[in-house]
A and B are shown apart, each in its own frame.
Chain A
Amino acid sequence: MEFVVEVENLTKSFGTKAVLQGVSLKIRRGESYVVIGGSGSGKSVLVKCILGLIPYDVGSIKINGRDISKLSQKELFQTRLKCGVLYQGGALFDSLTVIDNVSFGLVYGYGMPKKKAYAIALEKLRSVDLDESVARIYPAELSGGMMKRVALARAIATAPDIIFFDEPTTGLDPITSGTINDLIVKCTKEMGISALSITHDINSLKHISNRVGLLHNGKMIWEGSNAELTTTTNPYVVQFINGNSHGPFTSN
């Protein structure tokens, strides 16, 4: 079985606070893995550790079979080109137009000529249901949903092996959330890209996931398939899925 991401026994602390405590997960090629959990459970830290944005204390992370702790700075940058990221707020560059944002990784990461990068960027914009009319405008002029779509186009522009989705539907209306969910499914099913998502949105979770992991207090306390979400008797999962205020979870 070929894994795109392999995380083994990952531990990370900030000062005396242990944020991740021996987390392990594996994501197969073409699989959509969703990590759920309450606020402060360590989801975002997990993704940042995998991307090499923050150093971890113990454990190992492999992307496409390569241990990221053993990569040189240059190799790490090359590996990151194979990872797309859709940030919660989009994280589009304010000073650049939409087309420059989408083609950014191609121009600066791969060193591709601008003309060729623009052609690919336009194609990616079309694949997220946006047309050329948005290409020359700035992110500040976009709606929340359009911003997410542009960010998704930027994430897939470099032809990644895996995309990380950080709460992709947060702050969007239900219809736009549905559109974003459909686009995520399109990425994983049609384009064969693996996905690691973190979300609180149960509708989104049911729509986009193949496998799900529940992170609580820095530990992966449950893992199962999308179908098992509704059949499991794990009290944490049941409470989380149903949004009950009573149960093992206490709100932060």
Chain B
Amino acid sequence: MFLVRVGRLFISFLASIGNVAVFMLRSLSFGFAPPYYWRQILQQAVQIGYFSLPVVGMTALFTGMAMTLQCYAGFSEFTAENAIPSVVMIAMTRELGPVLTALMVAGRLGASMTAEIGTMKVTEQIDALTTLSVNSYKYLVFPRLLTGTTLLPFLVFIDDIIGILGGYLVGVYHLNFNAANYIRNTFEALTFSDISSGLVKGAVFGFLICLMGCYQGYFSKGGAEGVGRATTNSVVTSSILILLFDCILTFILF
């Protein structure tokens, strides 16, 4: 009995992966073929790129500040305070920047994408799109996938800058570091791969957030309750996938 349940769960897990893969391939194959819905792409770019800035900026600022304080508490015991700027920079660019940006965007945008597409699904608006001869994958899903993948790296880059700035503010104005030394220590340790690996992670996370957000919305059913359930699933699966792919990408990139 137990084995039967495990087997069923495993098969259902594989079926879900297959469904997501088919959904992704359909969206990309329809999306890359003309005509292109530029207005939809621009709208999503504004939603993802512009309206996410405040939440991403605040997260980065507070994380950079807290990170500096935590590092100081540990490093000062070994008189290694000089390493704090570079540690904060590396932590922000390689790990915290992309992951925190992605988690915040998943919470803010992934949920709203699922709710919007899910509501369209249960109120037959997606059927209406189809009967008006518009491919719903192309009109609804592809613009989100495209803008999510291309704009999340920009958000990660901004997150990196603000996070490092947060560390600088705490370091210089609270812990009394020398401003010039702090900046020099930060940039001396900075390499191109620190930035680029974070941006690659950002692009992958952006794609995953939008894919899960659209997929859960597109296949939601059961009225308002179903849309609510799909929204929760979207945020949970996106968050798990972000952490899973963060681990995988870290293994690949370093």
Contact = CB atoms under 8 A, between A and B. Distances in A.
A175 interface: no
Interface in B101-146: 119-120, 123-125, 127-135, 139
A90 to B, nearest CB: 8
Interface in A143-195: 154, 158
A252 B54 CA distance: 52
Interface stretch (A74-82, A116-124, A205-213): A74-82
Contacts of A65: none
Contacts, number: 56
Nearest to B128: A91
B133 A109 contact: yes
Contact count band on A: 20 to 34
Contact of B134 (A83, A84, A108): A108
A104 B132 contact: yes
A22 B134 CA distance: 30
B99 to A, nearest CB: 31
B125 A94 contact: yes
A89 B132 contact: no
A78 B131 contact: no
Nearest to A93: B125
Contacts of A77: 133, 135
Contacts of A45: none
Contacts of A88: 124
B127 A87 contact: yes
A1 interface: no
Contacts of A89: 123-124
A85 interface: yes
A77 B131 CA distance: 8
B133 A91 contact: no
A51 interface: yes
A10 to B, nearest CB: 18
Contacts of A93: 120, 125, 128-129
A105 interface: yes
Contacts of A104: 132, 134
Contacts of A81: 132-133
B133 A53 contact: no
Contact of A158 (B35, B120, B132, B135): B132
Nearest to B125: A91
A164 to B, nearest CB: 8
Nearest to B30: A73
B133 A105 contact: yes
Contact of B124 (A80, A87, A108): A87
A78 B133 contact: yes
5 contacts: A85-B128, A87-B124, A89-B124, A91-B128, A108-B132
Given A93-B125, A108-B139, A109-B133, 20 more contacts: A51-B130, A51-B131, A53-B127, A53-B130, A77-B133, A77-B135, A80-B130, A84-B131, A85-B127, A87-B127, A89-B124, A91-B123, A91-B127, A93-B120, A104-B132, A105-B133, A108-B133, A109-B134, A154-B132, A158-B132
Interface of B: 35, 37, 119-120, 123-125, 127-135, 139
Top 7 closest pairs, chain A to chain B, by CB: A109-B133, A105-B132, A91-B128, A91-B124, A77-B133, A85-B131, A87-B124
